[in-house]
Amino acid sequence: MTTLLRSDWEPLQQAHFSRADALLAGHLARKQRRESHPVEDFLFTYYSARPNQLRIWHPGPGIRLLDAPEYGDRRGYVVVDGAAQLDPGEIERRTDSITWIRQLLGATLERQPQFGCFGLHEWAMVYRADAVRHEKWPLRLGAEGTDQVVESHKIGCSHFDAFRFFTDEARPLNVLQPTRESQQGLEQGGCLHANMDLYKWATKLVPFTPSALVLDCFELARDIRTLDMRASPYDLAPLGYEPVRIETAAGKAEYAAAQRDFATRSKPLREQLVALCDELLV
């Protein structure tokens, strides 16, 4: 255990507030105006963590905070000898969840990344659909052109939480049929959604996850979402998003290169989350 005086830990907390506020500003401003953004608001609608939760600073395991009354009633913390620290009882209560997350992340690390999906999951979500998820934005190739792209490609989505949004007509076209039960056996480090989900697992492990790691995962997920929608069938050019035209050879190469970059960025974050789980489970 490392014990920090308030004069030591409060600057760390303030630095976190500044970083979190900068990341949250756009979303909160749009929310006040009752506006939505198909790219930048996704992390706040698809994932369960709320902006006010992201703003709370958590130091992580092995840190005790002196003169920290604001942590006294916070879930996951206890005060021992005048210092706030993570509650061992909370870790014990969540052992099953921590174990499952650790198994998933560890299995993903061990599996060879794949880079040949070309983001067709977003296309399969609108294949032969009467309505689309982002109805305010037109399909770049129109409905017929979008369907032709799906039908002319082999779809190999390995991520259950993407696959479950496929249209009924698109599901049989996928070479894999992911389920929640098969998730640990299928997820791999080249998948944009598996890497975006590092943010989900980081927040699921709060308050144990150091807040710096949570925000690192948030920034990664935000950048991945941008590629995800640039490569999607939607025309988001009016928002300043140049399309990645995955229906062309050049677009496929651009997508795969970005996918490799994200896999490289994701690996150390996934390793840190595995190490965190291991520390908690010990």
Dump pLDDT digits (tens) for 135-167: 788 999 999 999 999 999 999 999 999 999 999
- Kindly tell me if the per-residue pLDDT of 247 is higher than 90: yes
146: which 2 tokens? Answer: 């979008």
Structure tokens at 23: 């990341």
The end-to-end CA distance of the chain, in Å, is 15
CB 77 within 8 A of CB 86: yes
Tokens of 43: 């992390």
- Give residue 130's pLDDT band: very low, low, confident or very high (50, 70, 90): confident
Banded pLDDT at 112 (limits 50, 70, 90): very high
pTM above 0.85, yes or no: yes
Domain ranges of the chain: 2-281
| pLDDT tens per residue across span 206-243 | 999 999 999 999 999 999 999 999 999 999 999 999 99
Mean predicted confidence (pLDDT) in 87-109: 97
Q: Tokens for 80?
A: 């021992």
Output the CA–CA distances (angstroms, integers) from residue 39 to 10, 44, 112, 225, 241, in the order listed: 33, 10, 29, 6, 10
| pLDDT value of residue 135 | 78
pLDDT band at 133 (very low <50, low <70, confident <90, very high): confident
Candidates 265, 196, 213; CA nearest to 61 is 213
